[in-house]
Amino acid sequence: MQDISSQISVLQQAADPAVADAIAQLIANGKDHELNRINVLDFSQRRGLDEERVISGFLHAARLGLFDLTWNVLCPGCSGVLDAHTTLKSLRSDDYHCGLCACGYQASVDEAVEVAFTISSRVRRIGAHDPHTLPIWDYYRQVFWSSGIDLSEVHFEALADEVTLDALELPAGEKAVLSMQLPSEFVIVFEPVTHSAHFIDVQGEPTKERQQLSLIYNKQHAPTGTITLRPGPLRLSVDNQAGVRALPTVFIAGDALHRLLGKRKPFLTAKRMLSNQTFRDVFKADNLDIDQRLKITSLTFLFTDLKGSTALYERVGDLAAFDLVRAHFHALLDIIASEKGAVVKTIGDAVMATFIRPEHALVAGLRMRAAMDRLNEQRGTRDLVVKIGIHEGPCLAVMLNERQDYFGQTVNVAARVQSLSTSQEIHITGPVIDAPGVSTILEKEAIKPIQKHAALRGIADKVLVYEIP
């Protein structure tokens, strides 16, 4: 373990002090499994710390070399890690296949990509740095399953016994035979290292005759197969030709397994990370590759523009106008970051920002409007009038002009909706107002939206929008 006092000292200056102290304590005293694929949302909840500050703290810690950041593609069904990437650039947009669930998935960055942090081996070596030395259930907990599945020590060992007929650690190049009694249930022989599975449909009359099944594991993911057998004795022969240790496990695909896989908790998604201001500021080099196109099924966009900025420069002069515009930008950017958003770019006097949920964007918009009122009141003028538009929908995360950006009709609509404003009203679309969190905010603030149909430049049909007066 290297001397990390200097890195911790820098971290305490860059991050929230309470978060930095919690991270330092984790590094010094955490158990091995607590330092692998850390779920930062769970970490913040258990320690009573603000989520955004914790995310920011771990990002700064990763930049300092204390942790390795990984982007893990997950199976939506079992929460297994189908592929792990050390950089966003290597994330593929094509299909991933889960052997355990026998399904293929596209890697949408909404909920199917987990962002986790593992202690650097240069700081402290843990078992997960040598995954093929981990005991079989530690391998499942720390390597195969994501941080979004709740495998707490209280129930996991008992459930593991309940859902398995047998399990084996099989060294490379070796063979073994497992003998078991097949129940009248669907059975899965799953190997998590090679992600291969074989399904046994156990049905019919019980038999006393010994049934046979032979499986070979190699470096190729074995195709998923299904065989029908009868309840009774099974002789399972396994041959490990994968070049690494294999962990063949015989699962009973019943209610107990579904209970185990159904215990979930929130985790940090790639979508949330891409809309995190610290990540965009600190990890610019670890962004998308120029040819990548990552699908996001739902993201909220907020566009602002300063009304009459050209006239403002003519009226008050360049120097005074510059100070006003800078104060306006400072207020907007602070609000965006504090409401779990991130600035994608500024264009002249306009801002484009993203939020993971519509309610965060609406709160940010309301705060922006109030901030402009305060700035105007301080100066005794009405010079700062910000037009705001909010829209939610699918998009693509891309690289444009050496910057991580977004592309698609959702972006176009959001920009056009902002242009509808003539004063400091906010315009939002149907998908935004339909979000449960948004209706709660509107009721709390006693705001009655004004519904109207608007023609948006470049959009063929009129769009239903709502003015927030």
Q: Which amino acid is at 277?
A: Q
Average pLDDT for 90-115: 76
pLDDT value of residue 153: 60
DSSP string, 220-233: SPPPPEEEEE-SEE
- For the chain, what percentages of helix, strand and coil (3-state, to nearest 5) are there? 35, 30, 30
CATH classification code of 288-468 = 3.30.70.1230
Q: How would you label 389-426 residue by residue, b for 16+ Cβ within 10 Å and e otherwise?
A: bbbbbebbbbbeeeebbbebebbbbbbbbbebbeebeb
Sign of CA dihedral 147, 150, 156, 162: negative
pLDDT in tens, 348-395: 888 999 999 999 999 999 999 999 889 888 877 777 789 999 999 999
Do residues 406 and 395 lie in contact, with contact meaning Cβ atoms separated by under 8 Å?
A: yes
Which residues are CB-neighbours of 380 under 8 A, at least 6 positions away?
Answer: none
| pLDDT at residue 397 tops 70 | yes
**Run of H or E including 76:** none
pLDDT value of residue 55: 97
pTM of the model: 0.86
User: How many CA atoms, within 13 angstroms, populate the side-chain half-sphere of residue 216?
Assistant: 4
Q: Which two tokens stand for residue 115?
A: 């962002």
pLDDT in tens, 180-197: 999 999 999 999 999 899
| pLDDT at residue 222 tops 60 | no
Ranges of each domain in the chain: 5-132+266-270, 160-262, 288-468
Average pLDDT for 140-167: 83
pLDDT value of residue 108: 67
Q: How would you label 435-458 residue by residue, b for 16+ Cβ within 10 Å and e otherwise?
A: beebeebbeeeeeebeeeebebee
Nearest CA-CA partner of 227 in 189, 196, 175: 189
Maximum Cα–Cα distance across the chain: 96
pLDDT in tens, 290-305: 667 788 889 999 999 9
Which residues are CB-neighbours of 193 under 8 A, at least 6 positions away?
Answer: 132, 139, 217, 242, 244, 245, 246, 247
